[in-house]
Structure 1
Amino acid sequence: MLTPAQLTAIDNHLRKENWLLNNDLIAELTDHYAVGIEDRLDKGMAFDTAILELHSGFGGRKGLLKMEEEYQRQKALQLSLMEWQLIRSFMYGSRWFIGLGAFIVLIILNIYLGQQETVESALGAGFLFVTSSVFGNLLRSIIFFYQNRNEVNAASLQPNSTLYISAYILSLSLLLANKYLFPTYSLGLSSNSILLLNTLLETLCLIYYIAIAIALRQFLLNGRKKRIKI
């Protein structure tokens, strides 16, 4: 079993000497290094020699940085796929009844109860949250890049989630349509048809907001599980 000082040396080796920044990858590599070093120590090899041998096995700093780039790319692809599957589940998947229910509720509120302003205000709150999340993440990325400008690997930067970006674009489209498109152009549609079209857009926005809430809940649960393991 490695000592805390040796584990710290591995962490410094990965972060400071090899410029790795992705915490998940660093955690995985730390475990791999620890197992490999323990095996070599049991055979009488010195700690410094063991860590250098493992480092060479990964192709040195260049190999580790390339690994981080590929790791980040695969994580981004997995995240995009999971987010798309989540959205799809509201349309013709296991959560279809939620999407249908949201549409029916909005139809009742907009057409039968005349609560369009209430619906717009509620969705406006969601739009503010999504907007702050997108631009907040962009700001964090800029700060992150500045703080690590001498050693940052561009692939390690955290991109905005496609779920949030799509929700932002949908919300912005709905806002612009309500403010400029529908009041100015009838598009050859009756007022009820325009209201129905508007309700469809609102339903899509609401589905994305619900999906974001589910994704946030899962993210928090995963974070809690990691803390418990530690």
Structure 2
Amino acid sequence: MSLDERWRRALRSILELLTPSDFTDMLFYLDQIPQGVKTNKTREEIPDLVIQYYGTVNSISEIYEIMREIPRRDAAVQDLLRPFVEELKEQAENSVPARAAGSVPAAGSVPAAGSVPAAGSVPAAGSVPAAGSVPAEDSVPAAGSVPAEDNVPAEEKLLKVRKEFIKRVSGPVLNQLLDQLLEGRFIIDEEMQSVLTNKTSEAKAREVIDLVRRKGNKASALLIQTLCDVDKPVAEELKLI
């Protein structure tokens, strides 16, 4: 059976394991497929579209990354993905040409003793750079100029501020965050309603931040950006700006 046929079958099995929320998130990340094409498509139809728009090899890599982003890193999904990822990796390694034995320099190519520079060719002391040419200490970048926090994944930032987020974010702000997440298709209506059934703002905030962190870096980044836009004072207190 060809790689294309085996992958098509495995992809169908993977999609059967996804929850409605997982399936919606996966469609969102498949941005090479036009929205009008993938809307209202069944799970049985999606594998053909994925392979059509991404190709067999690229679709394996794309689905692997999406499953990590959703995230669906559980054994049920990953065990179906792993053989194909490893197969691609092996193909890539085998395609790198090995250096031929003949490329090793022959013994005769080693520089002869006579080619060693004579003592007179050693640079004189006067050729050593003057002290003034050594970069001054002021030219060394200050510690503050080294990016640090920006390299932290968005979901890690949320985890660090989780306790304060739950305490400080108000109900009206949470509603705006939910609206933006729903509009961005990071959550579905059922998840939004689940949050809204909580009686207190703290319970809502706890469910929101945990729900978004589980959905990965893009969803977490959107939550942070929206909070900075709608409640800058709180975002500053949480050091998200």
Higher Rg: 2
Flag the structure with higher helix content. 1
TM-score category (smaller protein): under 0.3
TM-score between both structures, scaled by the size of structure 1: 0.24
